[in-house]
Structure 1
Amino acid sequence: MTDPTPYGKAPAHTALWAELRRGLAPWTGLAVAVTVLVPLWGKAPQWQGSWGETQSQLHSAAALLAGPLVAAAACRQGGREHRRRTAELLLSVPRSRLAQATTAATPIALWAAAGYLFALAVAFAATAPYAGAGSPSVSIVATDLGFLLSIGFVGFVVGRLVRWRLIAPLLAVCAYVGLGFPDYLDSETRFLSPAHEVMLGGSVPVWWYAPVLLTWTGCIAVTALLAYAARRRFLAIAPLVLAITAGTLVVHTGADLFRDDPAMTRRVCSKSGPGTPQICVNASDAPVLPQMSEALKGMFSRLEGVPGAPVRYVDNGSGPKDGEAALAYVRRGWGITRNRLTDPHQYVQDTALGLVNHDCSAGPGEKGRKEDERMARTTDAVITWLSGEDSLRYPDSRRLARLEAMPDAERKVWLGRFLAVPANCTPSEVPVL
């Protein structure tokens, strides 16, 4: 049977399949997955339970850590023929220089993308059981994948052009610095960096974010590849013009590339009842709402019947209005881990502190210091009584004993006067305890 393939010219897909199965490419995919997952594992309490935080951490690890790794791996792949002293042999191969370069560089890029997708699947699987409002952003996934593919081809071209053996690690260092440095700039050019830190906890990219960013990074890679390997190198002008156009649009838009996430601005509130104020939190924290209500139950019962006591408690992002008070500030990794309050007692104390804390100062001098001390001890006694916890600052407070010894009706009147003290006050406005 006659072989239909001309002698010395194997099908392109056969060569690509061989490159995909062996050599540096499969190890690159494994290295990318490990490089992305290890930092995420160490910060799991900060992102697990929030789609936005999960993708923010994934984006930073993929761009700033995996990106330089892929560039170095592709660079080493590009310099393989120089190290093996077989570069001259490629001149006798019937396939074009562009086809040879694409076949050799594609496996690195594809395995890098596979490693990222594996890390993405693991992170999303860890987040899904605890996720509140919102959903993953397809645009961020697409731009991260496009960046890893693009930097792979750029690294390959560098490896083909530079024969120095240490160029791969040097390229990784330069890529890390080049990707991370723009974040320290105040200029809108920082948005050109694929590693620019994105805050997806409360925002989402605009609908055209992915096409423009993919054009920016992808056309840079195509320009480098065509300028190196194309028979008609002037063809590289077209993708270069597209890259400049996309980059100009990114810089011109700047921070407006992201808008508020409607799902994250929605508030979820608990049911209110007699003696039970309503609690309103961001929709992403809705799974924690029952535990918050349970933790604050004791404080609410102590405030029942107190004149001027809040009828609603809202998270810090809402901004309390008349009749409302701010809840203690908590977020994923700082107060909330896997939809659980890490320290309910501290949460109650911080909420009580926000309710009764006043910016009162009697001024300098001995008399002023004594008045400031009195106000501090009075505030601490109120916080301790409301929270039901022991005071760490004044463990043997006589003022707390006085507050506890008051008749219930008298204590409610006194607490009402204390809550009515304005935020900016004078010592005479603070009732004596």
Structure 2
Amino acid sequence: MTASATSVKTAAGKPPSGRAPARTALLTALRTELRRGIAPWTGLAVMLTLLVPLWSKSAQWQGSWGETQNQLHTATALLGGPLVAAATCWQGGREHRRRTAELLLSVPRSRLAQVMTAATPILLWAAAGYLLALGVVFAATAPYTGAGGPSLSVVVADLGSLLSIGFVGFVAGRLVRWRLIAPVLAAVLYVLLGAPNYVESDARFLSPAEQYAFEGSVPVWWFAPVQLAWTGGIAATVLLAYAARRRLLAVVPLALAVTAGAVIAPAGENLFRADPTATRRVCSAPAPGRPQICVKAPDALVLPSASEALAGMFSRLEGVPGAPVRYVDPESDPKAGEAALAHVMRGWGITRNRLTDPQAYASNTALTLVDRDCPDGLRTSDRKVSERVHLTDDAVRTWLAGDDSPWDPDARPLVTRLTTMPDADRRAWLGHFLATLKSCEPAEVPAL
């Protein structure tokens, strides 16, 4: 083999001159940025920015995957997004503040490589902060959930929008040399992200901060890809328009973003479908003489507390002809022999699967039982007759719930009369009373 052939073979077996040192220098710079500067502090700030407000509202989301993701999604977009944008914007303006922007022209790396090297560490730390907050929140709600689970599509879409906003913020910091641009950008983004929630147009679904109805619904399978195409396409357009050697390449992600936006806005609420677990009902174990309580599967762990709160009411209705044999959640349509439970929400009546006011829950359930289905009111113009029916209903509600006093003081003698009735007479009277609940004729309501 000749010397020239040997030299050609040796050269062919080596990487092109300068490429390996450039790659090594890039990785070294990336590792340095990951360990120093504001990148690690950004991750910590994102985590605390999400956890502090979420923890203050823990009673509202613990025990519900839908409400948990709703609160996390809103906090990520409205609080985390502006924070990350401000951090990357500050990082983007670093060379301007240090008066070293001209030195970047002598660096062998391309402008796009320089941008990625400076912005990626902050975004990696921001992603880590988001994922840590997500892990804490999910771990806090998991012990209190009865069914269902978190949506990975929502997590991916939220993380994608967070990173996309960060790249846009970095470019803004490179272009604008004003020192206050970072906090101003954060404030402007907060307004721009939150304002669409107050409009009725379907265009509001283009906002990453749109408050979706996660409770009782799940995103369609293409939710995450189309959201990533929308927010990521905008970020890639801004990035390539600023840093690419061939800026016409920005047309490609721009077209992708426009296409995704044209899908999201018309779809609107159809981005979600009904959650099968939300329509499934879970009932308490049947017991002789005791009606069943049926709630949505995600609220199955609330059954013991609800059964305990309604135990007194059920015992008072035992043996009454026509008494309900089943109580269902208020979103269900009660059928014959069924009655609706009181409406309560997590944070307002339920905290970690326990009723915060069992007496109020029993009272409101009794109210739904005695509530008359008369849209046009009782068929009478006699005020005294109408008042008698009103006081009778209030007395029955008070006695069933075991309240100390009725809402109307004039009904107190009727409660006493109902309490002192012989058991057999009271059961017969209550059976007659329950039979008239579907009637709007006051003359059919038995008097006390």
TM-score calculated relative to the size of structure 2? 0.91
1:281 Cα deviation from its structure 2 partner: 0.6
In structure 2, do the counterparts of structure 1 residues 275 and 423 end up closer, same or farther at CA, with 3 Å as the change threshold? same
Question: Where does residue 46 of structure 1 map in the other structure?
Answer: 60
316, 334, 352: which is aligned to 1:338?
352
1:8 Cα deviation from its structure 2 partner: 9.3
Aligned-partner SS, 1:397: helix
1:429 Cα deviation from its structure 2 partner: 2.8
In structure 2, do the counterparts of structure 1 residues 346 and 231 end up closer, same or farther at CA, with 3 Å as the change threshold? same
1:289 Cα deviation from its structure 2 partner: 0.9
Aligned-partner SS, 2:293: strand
1:359 Cα deviation from its structure 2 partner: 5.9
Aligned counterparts of 1:273 and 1:208: Cα–Cα separation in 2? 46
1:429 aligns with 2:448: no
In structure 2, do the counterparts of structure 1 residues 388 and 90 end up closer, same or farther at CA, with 3 Å as the change threshold? same
Question: Where does residue 242 of structure 1 map in the other structure?
Answer: 256
Instruction: Tell me the number of residue pairs that the alignment of Structure 1 and Structure 2 aligns.
Output: 428
1:173 Cα deviation from its structure 2 partner: 1.3
The answer on whether the counterparts of 1:50 and 1:131 sit within 8 Å (CA) in structure 2 is: yes
1:229 aligns with 2:243: yes
- Structure 2 counterparts to residues 150-229 of structure 1, below 5 A: 150-229=164-243
In structure 2, do the counterparts of structure 1 residues 39 and 423 end up closer, same or farther at CA, with 3 Å as the change threshold? farther
Question: Where does residue 147 of structure 1 map in the other structure?
Answer: 161
In structure 2, do the counterparts of structure 1 residues 32 and 424 end up closer, same or farther at CA, with 3 Å as the change threshold? farther
Question: Where does residue 116 of structure 1 map in the other structure?
Answer: 130
1:52 Cα deviation from its structure 2 partner: 1.2
Question: Where does residue 314 of structure 1 map in the other structure?
Answer: 328
Question: Where does residue 300 of structure 1 map in the other structure?
Answer: 314
Aligned counterparts of 2:360 and 2:392: Cα–Cα separation in 1? 19
Letter in 1 for 2:240: L
Aligned-partner SS, 1:280: strand
Question: Where does residue 422 of structure 2 map in the other structure?
Answer: 407
Aligned counterparts of 1:225 and 1:162: Cα–Cα separation in 2? 15
Aligned counterparts of 2:336 and 2:142: Cα–Cα separation in 1? 37
Aligned-partner SS, 1:401: helix
Q: C-alpha offsets along residues 263-322 of structure 1, whole Å, 9 cap, x if unaligned?
A: 111100112233111111101111111222222122112112212111111001111111
Q: C-alpha offsets along residues 389-429 of structure 1, whole Å, 9 cap, x if unaligned?
A: 21252468111111112122211121112112245624323
Letter in 1 for 2:336: D
Aligned counterparts of 1:217 and 1:236: Cα–Cα separation in 2? 14
Indicate the structure (1 or 2) with the bigger Cα radius of gyration. Answer: 2
Aligned counterparts of 2:400 and 2:437: Cα–Cα separation in 1? 19
Aligned counterparts of 2:438 and 2:345: Cα–Cα separation in 1? 25
Aligned counterparts of 1:7 and 1:49: Cα–Cα separation in 2? 53
Mark the runs of 5 or more structure 2 residues left unpaired by the alignment: 1-17
Aligned counterparts of 1:39 and 1:363: Cα–Cα separation in 2? 52
Aligned counterparts of 2:350 and 2:285: Cα–Cα separation in 1? 22
Aligned-partner SS, 1:94: coil
TM-score calculated relative to the size of structure 1? 0.94
Mark the runs of 5 or more structure 1 residues left unpaired by the alignment: none
Letter in 1 for 2:279: T
Aligned counterparts of 1:179 and 1:418: Cα–Cα separation in 2? 55
Aligned counterparts of 2:223 and 2:444: Cα–Cα separation in 1? 54
In structure 2, do the counterparts of structure 1 residues 20 and 344 end up closer, same or farther at CA, with 3 Å as the change threshold? same
In structure 2, do the counterparts of structure 1 residues 426 and 363 end up closer, same or farther at CA, with 3 Å as the change threshold? closer
The answer on whether the counterparts of 2:292 and 2:327 sit within 8 Å (CA) in structure 1 is: yes
Letter in 1 for 2:136: V
Aligned counterparts of 1:363 and 1:181: Cα–Cα separation in 2? 48
The answer on whether the counterparts of 1:153 and 1:225 sit within 8 Å (CA) in structure 2 is: yes
Question: Where does residue 265 of structure 2 map in the other structure?
Answer: 251
In structure 2, do the counterparts of structure 1 residues 7 and 51 end up closer, same or farther at CA, with 3 Å as the change threshold? closer
Aligned counterparts of 2:33 and 2:406: Cα–Cα separation in 1? 65
In structure 2, do the counterparts of structure 1 residues 105 and 123 end up closer, same or farther at CA, with 3 Å as the change threshold? same
1:378 Cα deviation from its structure 2 partner: 1.5
In structure 2, do the counterparts of structure 1 residues 371 and 235 end up closer, same or farther at CA, with 3 Å as the change threshold? same
Question: Where does residue 26 of structure 2 map in the other structure?
Answer: 12
Question: Where does residue 106 of structure 1 map in the other structure?
Answer: 120
Aligned-partner SS, 1:336: strand
Aligned counterparts of 1:226 and 1:330: Cα–Cα separation in 2? 51
In structure 2, do the counterparts of structure 1 residues 162 and 250 end up closer, same or farther at CA, with 3 Å as the change threshold? same
Question: Where does residue 87 of structure 2 map in the other structure?
Answer: 73
1:346 Cα deviation from its structure 2 partner: 1.2
